[in-house]
Chains A and B, each alone.
Chain A
């Protein structure tokens, strides 16, 4: 029993009365990739005639049974090597990707704040801001007042009037900053941040870190995916280490990050 109480609360103690906001129960996520029926028309036809579907549809098992509970006020970091399933897990929590099995329960609709929220690249930054806000369910009357604020925050206008140029003309850093600014404009109850803080220059990173702190103050729960371990150490008390779609470690940030560092840079530590 002593062992149990010891392991019971990864973040501090006396957390039993806290309210869960996200419950992920043994979730598996599988991507189905249609890789074409075959390398040549002949082999494709042969496969089609035989009626064998298996070689054309490849399954990528990205998340292989993840279970976790997040509570109100939690800021949880997610670390793991590339392709370990971090972003996929966030999408499953956000309800954007249906799990193959298992279930996700959330208190409110989670919002995924990523740099991949590609809108229409042919449109100006300004129009994208409006579209993004509307897509997040912001009322139209509110959107109008926020556009300038969002553009200012993103800093795309620092070097001349870029907000009226199509987004495809932006540098990748600028586009990422604008997308982050759009997503961060709204207060979210459950906020899932996908590598958004690693973008932009030092000044923008400072601004966005501040904004995330603000959002955290209002948000119930924050998940943060990042390869930048220092930003996780700054803003999260609890960290989950995913590896090949499985939770490898879940605990206080310092310990998990330490172990993860050791795993990724085995030569640096002896």
Chain B
């Protein structure tokens, strides 16, 4: 193939001197494309266009061309409510993805989905062994087994969202870089998966409460709004930690410690009255504002005959509702803000 410099058109001239060009912004080839745009815009010459381009004017000829033909910038963040609508349109994907995760989480185990029931039972068995039999921590709580199990199950619900939510985007970078969908679908799917896990563990829990000697009462109905509020809280929490996990990958190393500390602060394995007994008033007020403490207290109020209470049910409902709203709003706004950047990894 003849490669005489004068015979070759400008756009096909190979620049053999520049394996790593010093002036990367002016390759021959895109000058050609640019000059095409320049003609459309009636610019006098491609050189002039290029100079304008280099001056980085706010509306370069190409951007003008794009906007004139109604092209939209790619990968720009949609408006907040537009984003929410987008997420809603992907509800089918969220449902399919979360039930897929549910299947996948035990897919390598021989017993498969039976683990969904076995996991909470084993969990309770260990706590019963240590706190019920060995340490005998009744601590003035009637039906300590029921008390303990409600705490463990309700806490696990949020804890799994915390753990899996932090990895929900970073762990699916391949998916994020391959397909365009609202990224909030990933942490939301994590929360939905845990709701499905919760339904199973609530069945186990009901059995334990009855077996441990508490009657089935009308109050059990209150478990439904409690779990709804907690689920909303979890969605917000999942969105929050998902973005934090992207921004600071080290957080994933900290999650186990955070969740353990949170468990000790939530009165899962001891009576919630200790805060008022051992802490100064202000500190105990703060400790009692802990959302998980509130959801656990509400669940105990619903299921158990006479659990120790930190405050009136009305106060707990207000606090629980407030936490759900705060978490949901803060989480979704925070996550939405980072939407264009999740592919960067």
Contact = CB atoms under 8 A, between A and B. Distances in A.
Interface stretch (B19-27, B125-133, B159-167): B19-27
Contact of B74 (A10, A105, A139): A105
A97 B344 CA distance: 6
Interface string B172-192: 001111111100000000000
A244 interface: yes
Contacts of A31: 344-345
Contacts of A259: 1, 12, 14
Interface in A207-251: 240-241, 243-251
B4 interface: no
Contact of B30 (A6, A67, A118, A136): A67
A164 to B, nearest CB: 12
A250 B11 contact: yes
Given A10-B32, A65-B25, A122-B107, A95 B74 contact: yes
B100 A10 contact: no
A265 to B, nearest CB: 13
A134 B97 CA distance: 9
Interface string B116-157: 000000000000000000000000000000000000000000
A250 B35 contact: no
A111 B100 contact: no
Contact of B32 (A7, A92, A119): A7
A26 interface: yes
Interface string B92-108: 11001100110110011
Chain B interface mostly helix, strand, loop or mixed?
A: helix
A113 B90 CA distance: 19
A6 B103 contact: no
Contacts of B39: 4, 8, 16
Nearest to A124: B103
A64 B26 CA distance: 11
Interface in A117-136: 117-120, 122-123, 127, 130-132, 134-136
Nearest to A132: B179
A249 B344 contact: no
Contacts of B67: 105
B343 interface: yes
A96 B62 contact: no
Contacts, number: 209
B290 to A, nearest CB: 31
B159 to A, nearest CB: 22
A111 B174 CA distance: 15
B177 A96 contact: yes
B175 A117 contact: yes
Contacts of A258: 1
A246 B27 contact: yes
A262 B3 CA distance: 12
A111 to B, nearest CB: 7
A110 interface: yes
Contact of A135 (B1, B11, B181): B181
A4 B11 CA distance: 10
Contacts of B207: none
B69 A67 contact: no
A166 interface: yes
Contact of A96 (B20, B63, B108, B343): B343
A134 B71 contact: no
A31 B62 CA distance: 25
Given A68-B30, A166-B107, A246-B21, A131 B96 contact: yes
Contacts of A250: 11, 29-30, 32-33
Contact of A117 (B40, B92, B108, B179): B179
Nearest to A249: B29
A94 B180 CA distance: 8
A120 B25 contact: no
Contact of A249 (B14, B90, B100): B14
B203 interface: no
B187 to A, nearest CB: 15
Nearest to A117: B178
Contacts of B90: 134-135, 137
A98 B75 contact: yes
B72 A106 contact: yes
Given A16-B40, A105-B74, A32 B180 contact: no
A19 B69 contact: yes
Interface string B249-267: 1000000000000000000
A32 B39 CA distance: 38
A122 B104 contact: yes
Interface in A137-151: 137, 139-140, 143
B65 interface: yes
A107 interface: yes
B178 A112 contact: yes
A233 B190 CA distance: 45
Contact of B36 (A9, A120, A166): A9
A20 B29 contact: no
Interface in A18-71: 19-23, 25-26, 31-32, 34, 64-69
18 contacts: A4-B45, A8-B35, A23-B62, A25-B62, A25-B63, A25-B66, A65-B24, A97-B75, A105-B72, A106-B71, A116-B178, A120-B97, A120-B104, A127-B96, A134-B93, A135-B93, A135-B179, A247-B27
Interface of B: 1, 9-12, 14-15, 19-21, 24-25, 27-30, 32-37, 39-40, 45-46, 53, 60, 62-63, 65-67, 69-76, 89-90, 92-93, 96-97, 100-101, 103-104, 107-108, 174-181, 249, 340-341, 343-345
